[in-house]
Amino acid sequence: MEPTIYLYFNGNCLEAMNFYAETLGGEITGVFQNSNAPDPESRMPGGDDLVMNMAMKLGNAMVMASDAPGEWYTKPQGFSISVSPASTDEFDRIYAALSKDAQNVAMQPGETFWAERFAMVTDRFGTPWMLNYTGSKAMG
């Protein structure tokens, strides 16, 4: 069994997930929008372009998401998505993309006792991230 990350967005799910796929090297495997609903009762409140459910394959993991318009949306809290870039160059590229117009940079990229480079950022879509490149400090 593997956990699946499920993210909610305030009307910009498609934009965010396409950005994540491009930035992280993921693959969008499916998108269901309000316009795909078979009848009005199956729709969520809002326009045809709202995402009811979508999936992105990221390595061996799945990241799923949907829009949660209006009062359905709550800001993410109490978690971060942690990714481990394979090199410092990849770390820098991903950090630059996620930190552009970020809502918050909790920790600038830097060395820690467990990683050659580590950073924490909440991107412009409100998703909190941890980037961790262990390099020569990898355990086990």
Determine the angle formed by the axes of helices 13-24 and 88-99, rounding to 10 degrees. Answer: 160
pLDDT in tens, 63-121: 999 999 888 889 999 999 999 999 999 999 999 999 999 999 999 999 999 999 999 99
CB 60 within 8 A of CB 34: no
Q: Which two tokens stand for residue 123?
A: 């991107």
pLDDT in tens, 35-59: 999 998 899 888 999 999 999 999 9
Torsional sign, CA 72, 73, 74, 77:
positive
Domains belonging to the chain, first-starting first, are: 5-70 (3.30.720.100), 81-137 (3.30.720.110)
pTM, whole model, 2 decimals?
Answer: 0.93
Across-strand partners of 27? 57
Across-strand partners of 64? 6, 55
Which 8-state DSSP code applies to residue 113? S
Q: How far apart are CA 21 and CA 27, in angstroms?
A: 6
Number of C-beta neighbours around residue 87 at 10 A: 12
Query: Tell me, what's the pLDDT at 40?
Result: 87
Query: Tell me, what's the pLDDT at 70?
Result: 82
The continuous run of DSSP H or E covering 27 comes out as: strand 27-33
Q: How far apart are CA 96 and CA 11, in angstroms?
A: 24
